Amino acid sequence: MADVNWDACGSPKTQNGRLEVTNNKVQEILEIPEDFDEFWQEARQEALNCHLDYRRSAQSHVALPGMIIESIQMATVNDRVISGWFAHPMGARRLPGFLWINPYGRESILPNEYSTRPGFASLNLNFFGYDAFYQEKYAIDRGYFTQGIELPKTYIYRQITQDCLVALRVLQAQNEVDEERIGAMGMSQGGGLAIACGHLSPIVSAVGADMPFLGDIRNTLARPVHRYPLKEIIDFIEVTPLGRERVNHTLGYFDTVYHASRCQKPTHVSLGLKDPACRPETVRKIFDALPDQKALVELDSGHDWNPEMIEGNRHWFLDHL
């Protein structure tokens, strides 16, 4: 269990952007950008100011026993419109709900046992303007890990995080959902973004983060990286003047360890002991940075779906929503 020093206002104590995180094995200084909180306060305010505008409609693409699946379109920051699906049990009223955030890729994740749970409503979005059930296999030339990475404010993950914050407001507005019992959940990219939502959104009451990405990212990129999509960043570094310096500066605002240090929501984390993408040691650093109620599950698997994720997160949310 990690201990973080907090000030009287409930924020982590920092000195010149340095956050001290301790546990019974290590003591580490996290090099958080000095304007990290201001950066995310501005992004959060933009998402809050976004006019709540959404439309639900029937769909015929996907069926899931016991669930009603509807398409949903919503406006987000900068007048963009994105699509997704909303799943809920028949006759649902004021059930706990969660935003289910996609792993890396442009495709839409379909409603299934990982993205829905019995007794819960869930919302999922495609962040790239495609329809709720769009399918596309990963290809390097379709990757987006470096889109806008030259500056923190133009980086794609600022926009995606804002989309998540607006989506949580949309989820909270649905009659089927209890507005006080909402979580954020996902795997890999989705797990990292779920922790960011736990930090940034007061709507979120619990987090489920399976194999979360972008943890301890400067050290991760300092080691050999052979696996895509993370290698997209290494490819960018190798062909861009001052590429490593630019990347390290930008990613300092998006490191999941830093978001975790400010996520004061009950958080369930899993890691894969054979995971080559979100390595066990980086996920443990994310977990150690979490300040409060938390649980870590170590799975004997690689970077892939695992059935233990389903019940682990479901029980965590039942306990904390």
∠ CA(305), CA(306), CA(308), 5° rounding?
145
Res 311: pLDDT:
93
User: What pLDDT, on the 0 to 100 scale, is given for residue 4?
Assistant: 38
Helix-strand-coil percent breakdown of the chain, rounded to 5? Answer: 30, 25, 40
To the nearest 10°, the Cα dihedral for 107, 112, 118, 122?
10
Strand, helix or coil for residue 210: strand
Copy the structure tokens of residue 281: 């040691």
pLDDT band at 19 (very low <50, low <70, confident <90, very high): very low
Going by pLDDT thresholds of 50, 70 and 90, the confidence category of residue 23 is very low
- Work out the percent of the chain whose per-residue pLDDT is above 90: 89
Q: Which domains are present in the chain?
A: 33-320 (3.40.50.1820)
Count CB neighbours of 209 within 10 A.
Answer: 35
Coil, strand or helix at 207? strand
Q: Is the Cβ–Cβ distance between 18 and 32 less than 8 Å?
A: yes
Output the pTM of the full model.
0.91
Q: What is the pLDDT of residue 30?
A: 64
Cα dihedral 86→134→61→166 (10° resolution): 10
CB count, 10 Å around CB of 61? 14
Sequence-distant (≥ 6) Cβ neighbours of residue 35 within 8 angstroms: none
Flag whether pLDDT at 231 surpasses 50.
yes
29 pLDDT tier (thresholds 50, 70, 90) = low
Q: What are 170-181's pLDDT values in tens digits?
A: 999 999 999 999
Task: Choose among 181, 182, 188: nearest CA to 270.
Answer: 188
